[in-house]
C-alpha cells in the first residue's frame, strides 16, 4: 500500500519556527566576491584521487575520500571543505552563520547555513574543479587502528561525485571506484576497532519526506545501506582524532554525550531479555547493539529502546583544563569533535581551525577562541529548531497522507508497551510511521490497529488497539 499526500506547503512550519530560507542580496554579493584567504598556505594535493559520496543530487559537498594500501595497513585521505577560507571574521557572512547555526532541511527548500555561492559553489568539493580544502591524512594498521595522522590546508581536485545508492550497487557488482575499493574493508575494521566496540551506535530506520516528480509527497524509510555505514566510519574517525587532539591540547570544543548510568543499563537489559535477547548489563552495550539485525521486529524494538541510553548531547569548551569522562561521546566511544560538515554546521569551521593550530603548534586564533561560548549557544539553539522542524514536517506529512484513511485498519509492530498508561509505541510498515497508540499490546508483536482520528492543523494522528 503506497499512500501519498498532495502538494504540501511547508512554509508555515518555517515561519512557525522562524527559519530563514533566503539570504539578503548583500549577503549573496559578499559570498560571490569571497576569495580564498589562505591560498598561500596550501599544499598542492591535486594528485590524490579523491571522490565524494553523498545523497543523490547533493551540491553542498563537504567531504571527499581516497583510501590506498599502505604496507599491511591503509592510508586514508579525507578532504573537508575549507569554509573558513571564504568567511572572514567580523564579516556579515559570519554574523549570518551565527544567526542560523546550521542548515535546516525542509522537504521543499533547505534553509542553508551559507549562500549558494559558497555552499554549492566555491567551497563545495565538486568534481573536476580545484578546491581549497582541509586535508586529513590517517595511517591505519592492519586492524584499522590509527598509527599516525596529519591535518593541513591543501588544494584538491575531486575525481567524481558518487552517491550512496550507486556505491552500494557497485559494491554488489564488484565495480567500486578505485579510490574507494578499500572502503568496505576499512569501514568494517573501524566498526570493530577498540573504541568503536564500546560505542552505542544506533541504526534505526530514518523516516523522511520525499518529494516526487509529480509534486506529491511520500513518506519513506531511508535505507541503512552498508555504503552509508562505511563512509560514516571515515567521518567518525576524523571527528574522533580531532577530539583526541583537542583533549591532549586542552583547547577546543568537544561534542559530548555521557554514558548511560547503571540504572538505565539494567532497565535496557530487562527490555532486551523480554524481547528474546541474551543481554546482561555488564556486557559492552556497543558490541550488543552492533550485532543486532534491525530488519526483524525484535531487533527494531530493542534498537528503539536503546535510544534511552543516548540522551543529553551537548558541547563542552576546553579552556586549559583536561577533559573528564563526562566529555566522552558515548555514541562514538571516545572524545569527539564536529569537523567534517562545515558547509552545513557552524561549529565545524571553528573546530577545524582549532585542529589546524594544534597540528602546527600555533596558538588557536583569537577569532576562534573568543567565539567558543557563542558557538555552543548557536549550536544548541539551532539544533533544537532543526529537531522541531524535522518532526513537524514529518507529522504534517503523516497527517495529510493518512487523513483519507480514518477508520481503516493497519498492520503495525509494537515497539514499546506501557500497560500502566494504556498506551504503546508502534511502527507502521506502510506508510512508515512511528507514533503512539491507545492500548498496550505485547512488545515486538505484529498487531492490527485502527486509525481513529487525524488533525492536520495539530499534525496529529490517533490509532487504537484492538482494531
Tens-digit pLDDT profile for residues 45-100: 999 999 999 988 899 999 999 999 999 999 999 999 999 999 999 999 999 999 99
pLDDT value at position 224? 67
pTM of structure: 0.88
> Residues of 186-216 as b/e, b for ≥16 C-beta within 10 angstroms?
bbebbbebebbebbbbebbbebbbeeeeeee
Range of the domain at 290: 262-304
Residue at grid coordinates 559570519:
94
User: Is the pLDDT confidence value at 124 over 70?
Assistant: yes
Q: Are residues 273 and 355 in the same domain?
A: no
- The Cα–Cα gap between 251 and 243 comes to 10
Among 226-240, 319-333, 378-392, whose mean pLDDT is lowest? 319-333
Q: Judge if 196 and 335 occupy the same domain.
A: yes
214-228, 305-319, 336-350: segment of lowest average pLDDT? 214-228
Q: Quick one: pLDDT at residue 312? A: 79
Do 68 and 99 sit in the same domain of this protein?
A: yes
pLDDT for position 277: 87
Q: Same domain, yes or no, for 253 and 271?
A: no
How much is the mean pLDDT over the chain? 90
Q: How many CA atoms lie within 13 A of 196 on its CB side?
A: 26
42-to-104, 134, 365 alpha-carbon distances in Å: 31, 9, 18
Regarding whether 193 and 279 lie in a shared domain, the answer is no
Domain boundary among 304, 320, 337: 304
User: Are 327 and 299 in the same domain?
Assistant: no
Same structural domain for residues 362 and 428? no
pLDDT tops 90 at residue 139? yes
Q: How many CB atoms lie within 10 A of CB 172?
A: 11
Assess contact for 111 and 22: CB atoms under 8 A. Answer: no
Q: What is the pLDDT of residue 220?
A: 67
Three-state SS at 370 = coil
What is the DSSP-derived secondary structure letter of residue 345? B
* DSSP H/E element including 68: strand 63-70
- Average pLDDT, integer, range 334-344: 96
- Residue where a domain terminates, one of 360, 375, 400: 400
| Strand segments (E) across 71-223 | 73-81, 130-140, 146-157, 160-163, 206-211, 217-222
In this structure, are 370 and 415 located in the same domain? no
End-to-end C-alpha distance for the chain, whole angstroms: 18
Number of domains in the chain: 3
- Check whether residue 274 and residue 420 sit in a common domain: no
Q: Tell me: do 380 and 422 sit in the same domain.
A: no
54 and 111, same domain (yes or no): yes
Cβ-count burial 150-165 (b if 16+ within 10 Å, e if not): ebbbbbbbbbbbbbbe
CA atoms of 442 and 419, how far apart (whole Å): 9
The answer to whether residues 174 and 116 belong to one domain is yes
Q: Which of 378, 400, 422 is the last residue of a domain?
A: 400
Amino acid at each position: 500500500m503506497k499512500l501519498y499526500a498532495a502538494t504540501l506547503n511547508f512554509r508555515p512550519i518555517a515561519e512557525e519556527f522562524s527559519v530563514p530560507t533566503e539570504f539578503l542580496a548583500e549577503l549573496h554579493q559578499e559570498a560571490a566576491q569571497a576569495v580564498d584567504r589562505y591560498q598561500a598556505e596550501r599544499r598542492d594535493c591535486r594528485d590524490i584521487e579523491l571522490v565524494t559520496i553523498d545523497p543523490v543530487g547533493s551540491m553542498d559537498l563537504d567531504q571527499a575520500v581516497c583510501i590506498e594500501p599502505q604496507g599491511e595497513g591503509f592510508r586514508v585521505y579525507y578532504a573537508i571543505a575549507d569554509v573558513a577560507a571564504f568567511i572572514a571574521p567580523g564579516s556579515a557572512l559570519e554574523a549570518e552563520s551565527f544567526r542560523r547555526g546550521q542548515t535546516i532541511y525542509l522537504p521543499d527548500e533547505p534553509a542553508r547555513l551559507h549562500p549558494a555561492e559558497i555552499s554549492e559553489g566555491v567551497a563545495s568539493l565538486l568534481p573536476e574543479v580545484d578546491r581549497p580544502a582541509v586535508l586529513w591524512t590517517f595511517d591505519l594498521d592492519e586492524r584499522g587502528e590509527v598509527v599516525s595522522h596529519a591535518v593541513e590546508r591543501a588544494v584538491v581536485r575531486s575525481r567524481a561525485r558518487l552517491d550512496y545508492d550507486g556505491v552500494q550497487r557497485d559494491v554488489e557488482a564488484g565495480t567500486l571506484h578505485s579510490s574507494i575499493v578499500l572502503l568496505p574493508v576499512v569501514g568494517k575494521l573501524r566498526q570493530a576497532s577498540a573504541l568503536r566496540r564500546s560505542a552505542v551506535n544506533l541504526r534505526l530506520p530514518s523516516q523522511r519526506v520525499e518529494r516526487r516528480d509529480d509534486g506529491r509527497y511520500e513518506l519513506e524509510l531511508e535505507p541503512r545501506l552498508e555504503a552509508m555505514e562505511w563512509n560514516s566510519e571515515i567521518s567518525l574517525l576524523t571527528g574522533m582524532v580531532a577530539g583526541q587532539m583537542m583533549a591532549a591540547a586542552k583547547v577546543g570544543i568537544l561534542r559530548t554525550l555521557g554514558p548511560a548510568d547503571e540504572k538505565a543499563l539494567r532497565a535496557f537489559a530487562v527490555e532486551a531479555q523480554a524481547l528474546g535477547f541474551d543481554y546482561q548489563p555488564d556486557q559492552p552495550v556497543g558490541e550488543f547493539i552492533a550485532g543486532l539485525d534491525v530488519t526483524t521486529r525484535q531487533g527494531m524494538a530493542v534498537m528503539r529502546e536503546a535510544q534511552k541510553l543516548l540522551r543529553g548531547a551537548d558541547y563542552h569548551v576546553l579552556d586549559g583544563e583536561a577533559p573528564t569522562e563526562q566529555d566522552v561521546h558515548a555514541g562514538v566511544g571516545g572524545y569527539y569533535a564536529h569537523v567534517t560538515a562545515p558547509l552545513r554546521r557552524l561549529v565545524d569551521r571553528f573546530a577545524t581551525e582549532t585542529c589546524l593550530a594544534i597540528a602546527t603548534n600555533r596558538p588557536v586564533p583569537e577569532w576562534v577562541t573568543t567565539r567558543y561560548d557563542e558557538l555552543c549557544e548557536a549550536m544548541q539553539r539551532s539544533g533544537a529548531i532543526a529537531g522541531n522542524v524535522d518532526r513537524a514536517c514529518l507529522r504534517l506529512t503523516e497527517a495529510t497522507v493518512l487523513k483519507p484513511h480514518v477508520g481503516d485498519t493497519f498492520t503495525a509492530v509494537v515497539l514499546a508497551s506501557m500497560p500502566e498508561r494504556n498506551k504503546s509505541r508502534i511502527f507502521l510498515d506502510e506508510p512508515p510511521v512511528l507514533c503512539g497508540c491507545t492500548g498496550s499490546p505485547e512488545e515486538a508483536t505484529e498487531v492490527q490497529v485502527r486509525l481513529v482520528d487525524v488533525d492536520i492543523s495539530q499534525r496529529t494522528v490517533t490509532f487504537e488497539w484492538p482494531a
